[in-house]
């Protein structure tokens, strides 16, 4: 079947379970697709062709397993999730040859469910960036227009799914890193509630913000992956021990009657590109046609979110990245004769510019004399931002708005770091508050012809309801095809 | 807020980074702009606000108090740039 790559994850899972296609056939198709499109897209740091084919042969020999919901489904992982025996670089020279001896919990759960991994996706170094231009290895291109960025930092994951190289990928989202590439690449991306999916094995950037999530070509696919990964993990002290609902059960609803959608004026005003506004407003109008009620809400502190986020994220990054010292793993400068010199030379040569900039900034805001003025102040504003959401959710069930002020921009267009940080204005608040948020493709911008994503945000642990609403909206919108490559 | 290249060099050294002069100049300008942007948080009165460090309560899970080997020594040493099969090897300290 030459069109296999156009199937959704749910469709291919069903075909594999019924025996209509073999795992080897599907894996080979993905590897062929990778070979054909990678020269232009460059989504993957590592292609796991031999391992995937060997596993596929063993699976076909054993036959379909109905107890494994992802049996034989080819997937890609962002290259900051540890994979036993497979290189995990974090997009950094400092981890260029790092081969973990354990799987991240999310990876282990996908494996247990039968997924076959065909590659590890490119990313901004240590997840620091909004465009996948900060990888130490190469830039990834947007499959809709290879001159443009795929978004970041999970840009490799976004591009590989959009290009039909696999049926789903995992990304991580610290300040929008699942939602922005999903929006730019025209796919579905879900950042679950903080604590919903274990972070064990996720190489940390901002520990109180990072969350793993699915990136797929349909809402149903996202629900399937979340179902497999969600749930308490004793290996992660931030993993929340609450029941996991049935995320697929609420899909297929008839309408959106009784659903209140909050529209914060701070997300729909100045600074938003007209084509993004138009596409998102069209999707909201569609929700209203389906019976949803739109209500105005206030998120008055939105303008403080970027400053709050970057202080907290950089502070946590400076602490998390102190483990990279060239002693136990990663790059080491071999010329240094003394220990401190070795630390310094290894880190200076191993980290790229954006990572160094954030480490220095993080160290600065945590240093004596500045801690209260910056880090502690940001932690207080973070509480106020969460209270802003709590108040908004007294008036509505979900908040809707754009993911990003623009569609995918041209590579090199945002050279100034502060200018790049400002692109995250609509996504970072959800990470600070720890609430779930997702990006749903709602069409192409009329000027750029690039995908536009609508963002939905909801109260903590409302993923089941959010997916249900998103899936109904998805069925009402014209589908985006796989871009021609 | 202005930040000088000398201040950047000092913080870089605390972070175990050694940056060339041109990068110190570049970072000083960029960090100054970023810090000036962050200073807008000063507009908010937060005297009575409790800081929020994490969206969830951290729960330390205690395993049973029994000896267990999760990983083998050779696995843990395998990624080290230099090791002797028993220990990580580092350059001299004194």
Residues 392 to 451 of A: which have CB under 8 A from any B CB? 416-418, 421, 432-435
Question: Best of B81, B83, B93 to disrupt the A interface by mutation (most A CBs within 10 Å)?
Answer: B81
The Cβ of residue A183 has, within 10 Å, a number of other Cβ atoms equal to 32
Among A98, A337, A383, the residue with its CB nearest the CB of B91 is A337
Q: How far apart are CA A468 and CA A485, in angstroms?
A: 32
* Cβ-contact A91, A125 below 8 angstroms: yes
**What ranges do the domains of chain B cover?**
5-43
Residue A14 corresponds to which tokens in the numbers above?
Answer: 């069903």
Residue A456 has pLDDT above 90, yes or no: yes
Average pLDDT over residues A400-429: 91
Q: Scanning the structure block, which residue is given the tokens 């990663």?
A: A330
Q: What is the pLDDT of residue A421?
A: 84
pLDDT confidence of A473, banded at 50, 70, 90? very high
**pLDDT tens profile A76-93:** 999 999 999 999 999 999
Among A327, A343, A374, the residue with its CB nearest the CB of B88 is A327
CA distance to partner chain A, nearest, from residue B24 (Å): 10
Quick check: B92 and A367 CB within 8 A? no
Residue A468 corresponds to which tokens in the numbers above?
Answer: 């249900």
**H helices of A19-48, where?**
23-41
**Least CA distance to A380: which residue of chain B?**
B51
Q: Which residues of A touch B63 (CB under 8 A)?
A: 234
**Annotated catalytic residue, options A7, A78, A191, A414:** A78
pTM of this prediction? 0.97
Average pLDDT over residues A392-398: 98
Residue A8 corresponds to which tokens in the numbers above?
Answer: 């959704």
Measured N-to-C along each axis, helices A105-112 and A219-229 cross at an angle, to the nearest 10 degrees, of 110
| Beta pairing, strands A169-173 & A293-297 | unpaired
For the question of residue A153 being annotated catalytic, the response is yes
Query: pLDDT higher for A406 or A418?
Result: A406
Average pLDDT over residues A226-251: 96
Residue A478 has pLDDT above 90, yes or no: yes
**pLDDT tens profile A280-317:** 999 999 999 999 999 999 999 999 999 999 999 999 99
Quick check: B41 and A304 CB within 8 A? yes
**pLDDT tens profile A51-76:** 999 999 999 999 999 999 999 999 99
Residues 28 to 67 of B: which have CB under 8 A from any A CB? 30-31, 33-35, 37-44, 46, 49-56, 58-61, 63
Q: What is the pLDDT of residue A199?
A: 98
Helix (H) or strand (E) holding A469: helix A463-476
CA distance to partner chain B, nearest, from residue A107 (Å): 18
Residue B94 has pLDDT above 80, yes or no: no
User: Three-state DSSP class for B10?
Assistant: helix
Residue A474 has pLDDT above 80, yes or no: yes
Q: What is the mean pLDDT of chain B?
A: 93
**pLDDT tens profile A24-41:** 999 999 999 999 999 999
The Cβ of residue A362 has, within 10 Å, a number of other Cβ atoms equal to 28
pLDDT confidence of A1, banded at 50, 70, 90? low
Residue A228 has pLDDT above 90, yes or no: yes
Residue A157, C-beta contacts closer than 8 angstroms, at least 6 positions apart:
A43, A76, A77, A78, A121, A123, A169, A170, A171, A178, A181, A215
Quick check: B79 and A376 CB within 8 A? no
Q: What is the pLDDT of residue A484?
A: 87
**H helices of chain B, where?**
5-14, 21-38, 73-77
**Least CA distance to B47: which residue of chain A?**
A380
Q: Which residues of A touch B34 (CB under 8 A)?
A: 310, 361, 417-418, 421
Q: Which has the closest alpha carbon to A450: A419, A480, A420, A418? A: A480
Q: Could you give the strand order of the β-sheet that contains A437-444, starting from the edge strand earlier in sequence? A: A44-47, A116-121, A74-78, A169-173, A211-216, A188-191, A437-444, A451-457, A398-402, A260-264, A293-297
Phi, psi for A49 (deg, rounded to 5): -60, -55
Q: What percent of chain A has pLDDT over 90?
A: 95
Q: What is the mean pLDDT of chain A?
A: 97
């Amino acid at each position: 079947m030459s069109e296999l790559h156009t199937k959704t994850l749910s469709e291919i899972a069903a075909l594999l379970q019924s025996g209509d296609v073999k795992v080897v056939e599907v894996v080979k198709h993905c590897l062929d697709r990778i070979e054909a499109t990678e020269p232009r897209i460059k989504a993957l740091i590592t292609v796991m062709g031999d391992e995937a084919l060997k596993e596929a042969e063993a699976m076909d020999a054993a036959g379909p397993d109905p107890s494994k919901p992802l049996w034989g489904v080819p997937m890609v992982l962002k290259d900051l999730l540890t994979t036993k025996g497979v290189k995990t670089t974090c997009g950094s020279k400092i981890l260029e040859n790092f081969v973990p001896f354990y799987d991240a919990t999310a990876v282990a759960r996908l494996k247990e469910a039968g997924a076959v991994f065909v590659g590890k996706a490119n990313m901004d170094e240590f997840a620091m960036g909004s465009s996948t231009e900060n990888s130490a290895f190469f830039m990834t291109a947007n499959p809709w227009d290879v001159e443009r960025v795929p978004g970041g930092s999970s840009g490799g994951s976004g591009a590989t799914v959009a290009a039909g190289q696999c049926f789903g990928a995992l990304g991580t989202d610290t300040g929008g890193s699942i939602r922005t590439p999903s929006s730019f690449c025209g796919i579905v991306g879900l950042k679950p509630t903080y604590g919903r999916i274990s972070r064990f094995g996720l190489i940390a950037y901002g520990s109180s913000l990072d969350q793993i999530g699915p990136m797929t070509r349909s809402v149903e696919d996202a629900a399937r992956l979340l179902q497999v990964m969600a749930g308490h993990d004793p290996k992660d002290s931030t993993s929340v021990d609450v029941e996991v609902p049935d995320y697929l059960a609420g899909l297929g609803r008839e309408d959106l009657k009784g659903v209140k959608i909050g529209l914060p004026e701070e997300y729909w005003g100045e600074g938003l590109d007209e084509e993004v506004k138009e596409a998102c407003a069209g999707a909201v109008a569609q929700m209203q046609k389906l019976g949803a009620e739109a209500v105005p809400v206030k998120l008055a502190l939105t303008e403080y979110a970027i400053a709050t986020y970057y202080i907290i994220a950089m502070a946590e990054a400076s602490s998390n990245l102190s483990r990279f010292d060239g002693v136990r793993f990663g790059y080491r400068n071999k010329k240094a004769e003394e220990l401190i010199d070795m630390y310094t030379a290894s880190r200076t040569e191993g980290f790229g510019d954006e990572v160094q900039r954030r480490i220095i900034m993080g160290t600065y805001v945590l240093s004596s004399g500045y801690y209260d003025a910056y880090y502690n102040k940001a932690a207080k504003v973070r509480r106020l931002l969460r209270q802003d959401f709590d108040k908004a959710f007294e008036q509505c069930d979900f908040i809707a708005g754009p993911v990003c002020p623009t569609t995918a921009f041209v590579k090199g267009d945002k050279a100034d770091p502060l200018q790049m940080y400002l692109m995250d204005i609509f996504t970072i608040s959800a990470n600070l508050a720890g609430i779930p948020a997702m990006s749903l493709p709602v069409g192409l911008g009329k000027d750029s012809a690039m995908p536009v994503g609508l963002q939905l945000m909801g109260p903590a642990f409302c993923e089941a309801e959010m997916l249900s609403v998103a899936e109904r909206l998805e069925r009402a919108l014209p589908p985006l095809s796989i871009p021609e490559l | 807020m202005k930040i000088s290249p000398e201040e950047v060099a000092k913080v870089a050294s605390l972070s175990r980074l050694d940056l060339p002069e041109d990068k110190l100049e570049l970072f000083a300008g960029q960090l100054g702009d970023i810090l000036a942007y962050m200073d807008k948080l000063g507009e908010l009165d937060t005297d009575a606000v409790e800081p929020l460090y994490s969206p969830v309560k951290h729960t330390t899970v205690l395993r049973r108090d029994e000896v267990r080997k999760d990983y083998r020594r050779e696995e843990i040493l395998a990624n080290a740039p230099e090791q002797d099969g028993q220990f990580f090897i580092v350059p001299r300290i004194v």
